[in-house]
A and B are shown apart, each in its own frame.
Chain A
Amino acid sequence: MTTNAAKLMKGNEAIAEAAIRAGCQAYFGYPITPQNEIPDYMAKWLPKAGGVFLQAESELAAINMVYGAAGAGSRVMTSSSSPGISLMQEGLSYIACAELPCVVINMVRSGPGLGGILPAQSDYFQAVKGGGHGDYKLLVLAPATVQEAVDITYASFQLAEKYRNPVMILGDGLLGQMMESVTLPKVESPPSPPDWATTGRQKGKPRIINSLYIEGDVMEKRNQHIFAKYAHMAEDEVRFEKYHTDGARLLVAAYGSTARIAKTAIDRARAEGIPVGLFRPISLYPFPNDALRKAAAEARVVLTLEMSMGQMVDDVRLSLEGRVPVVFYGRTGGVVPTPKEILKELHRVWENRA
């Protein structure tokens, strides 16, 4: 079954295939553009691989089906896009508190409101700051290419299980719709359900999946325990890419599709003599604070580029703690910046540096 030959695949389908190969046993979801190829692919192929596919009546139901299946020890995922992910926030908060592993794909579209179906990065805050109520975070990974989306999806199930926490893969319509050549990983079988999972207690003690802690000190301990895991994540799960950052006097910070477009502009700017580099966070939570500080060590100015009105730029500023001026350029509403306009912005920022 293992095929290592490169294949041309659409981002959404490649993600679905990578999930099946990672041993995903169940998928619950509700249709929404621009990620419909994921449930379509899962409906066709997951049952053939021995898994469960179910179209839920809403995203509310879908994420709670994920909760149930994860609590029963199954490798499980869902996928959606912005409005649907908003509806899942309640469930994600419960899942994080109950310490259940699951994978959530978010192919972000423009908003607020019903917004549009075009690519956007305007759900960064929702993804990395928790999103639902209470003290919790998701482990958030943002691929920039279809191959990276495959590799990250494949790894995400084990990451979710390692931390017993939801992992969100934050993409956008560009990544989902783009066709690229990918090498697919080998098929992995899922592990047997862990001891804590509700599988029928047999002769043992009852297992309880729960997020209710009525006493303040017990709830506080729970939060501290959850945040101790996040401290571990910050040690072990930080991912980023550096592109010409050595000696960069102008540093661009961008993630996902925007980073990819920025690279083209950066190549041209460098050819024109601007000492510019790119820092691309791949793990958005935990955010690569130290690595960004190092990459910006010689920078006179940092330009954050996003397809939003400016969200990650806050984390960039927090990382750099005022050491370097941070400026922002963004397109939003589904408008994708062109390499040409980014190049223009690079010139403007470089010429106006302090």
Chain B
Amino acid sequence: MRQVTAKPKALTNAPFHYCPGCTHGIIHRLLAETLDEFGLTENAIGIASVGCSVFAYDYFNCDMQQAAHGRAPAVATGIKRVRPQNFVFTYQGDGDLGSIGIGETIHAANRGENITIIFVNNAVYGMTGGQMAPTTLLGQKSSTTPTGRSIGEHGYPLPVSELLQALPGAAYVARTTVTSPSQIRITKRALAQAFQAQIQGRGLGLVEILSTCPVNWHMDPVEALTFINEEMVAQFPLGVFKDFDEEVARDGK
């Protein structure tokens, strides 16, 4: 028998604690595969943020630091500046990156820090029980928007990738999802290109991945995938927003 797949070396044997149907797990795997494929698992320094993925430091089989809520890009900056020879990545949720840490995110991108950000957008605060996130959709119910998010009260869903696209220091910005095998392959390619941005010293690479939170969306896993494909993608269009390597951007389309 031929082995066609195996657990990536960049993942430890610790079992994930994620809820059934949560796509944090798929994203972990894709990131781990990419680390392995680039031969970076032994060199990488990862930063876990505050959110459901806080225990990422137990799951990735590389050196890890756990950062305060929103501060991962600053922590990554500190590491990368003193150890430019290491591959440095952060793994952050939308509350972490888009709300409390939006300042650190924008400035790290604007400085063109050679770091890679994996940004998991699930439109809610997962860990604290489904409160409104900056990315919560208009009309979407959350525990702190019980009648749905409204423009008048809460403003608009925050388009992080579109914002960062404007910054010259951001070398690669893409939004993807993991709701189907083909989307998973696209996400993997995006991760590879975000890695390349850092490896080639081009600046900050960020992949925003639309992800499920079935528990706090009060949906079953299949409904959650459909919610992404039908509702989230309408608000947060998928695609490559910026690519330091213009040719790759053209060929990729």
A and B: interacting chains: yes
Q: Which candidate, A57-65, A159-167, A328-336, is the interface stretch facing chain B?
A: A57-65
Q: Closest CB of chain B to A228's CB: distance in Å? A: 23
In the complex, the answer to whether A207 meets B107 with C-beta atoms within 8 Å is no
Q: Give Cα distance in the complex from A208 to B62, angstroms.
A: 9
Give Cα distance in the complex from A76 to B63, angstroms: 19
Which bucket holds chain B's interface residue count? 35 or more
A225 proximal to B (CB < 8 A)? no
Q: Note all chain A residues with C-beta closer than 8 A to B104.
A: 57, 60-61, 64
Whether A233 sits at the interface, judged by CB under 8 Å, is no
Is there a chain A Cβ closer than 8 Å to B66's Cβ?
A: yes
**B240: interface (CB < 8 Å):** no
Number of chain A residues whose Cβ lies closer than 8 Å to a Cβ of chain B: 39
- A90 to B75 CA separation, bound complex (whole angstroms): 13
A11 within 8 A of B: no
Which B residues are CB-close (under 8 A) to A353? none
> Which B residues lie within 8 Å of A71 (CB)?
65, 75, 78-79
B86 x A68 contact (CB < 8 A): no
Instruction: Check B63–A94 contact: CB distance below 8 A.
Output: no
Chain A stretch 185-234: residues in CB contact (< 8 A) with chain B: 198-203, 206-212
User: Which residue of A60, A69, A94 is within 8 Å of B81 (Cβ)?
Assistant: A69
Residue numbers in B under 8 Å from A57 (CB-CB):
103-104, 107
Residues of A within 8 A of B75 (CB): 64-65, 67-68, 71
In the complex, A202 Cα to B44 Cα: how many Å?
Answer: 9
Known contacts A202-B42, A208-B57, A210-B66; A58 and B103 CB within 8 A of each other? yes
A206-B12, A206-B63, A212-B54 known; A200-B81 Cβ under 8 A: no
B83 proximal to A (CB < 8 A): yes
Cα of A98 to Cα of B82 in the assembled complex, Å? 19
Task: List which B23-49 residues lie within 8 A (CB) of chain A.
Answer: 42-45, 47
One of A72, A203, A206 near B79 (C-beta < 8 A): A72
A261 to B185, CA, bound (A): 71
**B193 interface hit (Cβ, 8 Å):** no
Contact A28 B78 (CB under 8 A): yes
Chain A positions within 8 Å of B65 at CB level: 67-68, 71-72, 198, 208-210
Distance in Å from the Cβ of A240 to the closest Cβ of chain B? 35
Q: B58 contacts which chain A residues (CB < 8 A)? A: 208
With A56-B74, A61-B104, A200-B43 as given contacts, are A69 and B66 in contact (CB-CB < 8 Å)?
A: no
> Is B67's beta carbon under 8 Å from chain A?
yes
Q: Give the top 3 A-B pairs by smallest Cβ distance, nearest first.
A: A68-B78, A65-B78, A198-B63
- Can you report 21 residue pairs joining A to B where beta carbons are below 8 Å apart? A52-B81, A56-B74, A57-B107, A58-B103, A61-B71, A64-B74, A65-B75, A65-B81, A67-B67, A68-B75, A68-B79, A69-B79, A72-B79, A72-B82, A74-B83, A200-B44, A200-B62, A201-B42, A201-B62, A202-B42, A203-B42
Which of B's residues lie within 8 Å of A, judged by CB? 12, 42-45, 47, 54-55, 57-58, 60-68, 71, 74-79, 81-83, 85-87, 103-104, 107
